[in-house]
Structure 1
Amino acid sequence: ISVWPLNHPSQGTNLHLYSPLGIPEGVKDLPPGVALPLESNLAFMNGISFTKGCYIGQELTARTHHMGVIRKRLLPVTFPGPLPPAGVPEGADILTQAGKRAGKFRAGGGELGIALLRLAHLHEPLCIPLEGHRVELRAATPEWWPKGAAK
């Protein structure tokens, strides 16, 4: 599956393979103690069992899954315009054009990245305020997600 052109592979990483698909890789995409399994799309990849075992956070994860309310998810993002020379810093706030907080940029390289975004803002114009100007970004729902997952 190819969601976006893979023009800018990062050296030493698989960012150019995983980011366009919204698949997290490593601690930059899944910060320990911060990332939640359902927001990280692990259930879509069969990375969570709801029928066996005991693990830290199991009750919260199972309750959230069965209630069906997940407000934020990791999504692939692209930067259609020019980027600052230093790139976009990990953890940068993502805002709507109206200035509302929409999420956090997790990691990226070149025109590709992955971000934790509120699904309510998925189809709005988004930006990251950097160095006195706004860097535009676009998010998209990966094709491999189950239908209705971005609601």
Structure 2
Amino acid sequence: MTASPKLDKVDRKILEILQRNAKITNAQLSKEIGLSPAPTLERVKKLEQSGVIDSYHAKLNTSKIGLGISTFVQIKLTGHDKESIKTFINAINKIDEVIECHHVTGSSDFILRVIAKDIASYQQLMLDKVNEVPVVDSLQSLVILSTFKDSKTLPVPEDEKLKI
């Protein structure tokens, strides 16, 4: 088995640019990184095939599509066994309004990021879906009042150990 090539300076630059603008043309990307189009495309394909680039997404304006409430919800489960966790995760994955689910340390077991049309819709969602998951012991909602940073751009480390 051969060693994977490392992320070099050009790869990191490609990743930074694509995170800011995934719709950039290969021609424009090649200009920005200083390579011709063919090797640029080859590098992007290598980053995609290796799994470094997972996918491409359109970021939607929540208020323009009628989603006015965003919350974090801290969840405690009734048990911490594999079956309870699996039951919870399976149920949460079926709720479209739950846009993130994180297993965490501390006083809660999970933190969810939930988005809804309004407070009434959010309340109904909590009552009808999240509270009905049999392994949910308690939940605490934190309504997001304002967001001052919502970056989807990850810093790409210069660590020599990063490999693709």
Q: TM-score range by the shorter chain?
A: 0.3 to 0.5
Q: Greater strand percent: which structure?
A: 1
Higher relative contact order (CA 8 A, sep 6+): 2
The structure having more radius of gyration, on CA atoms, is: 2
Q: Greater helix percent: which structure?
A: 2
TM value normalised by structure 2: 0.33
TM value normalised by structure 1: 0.35
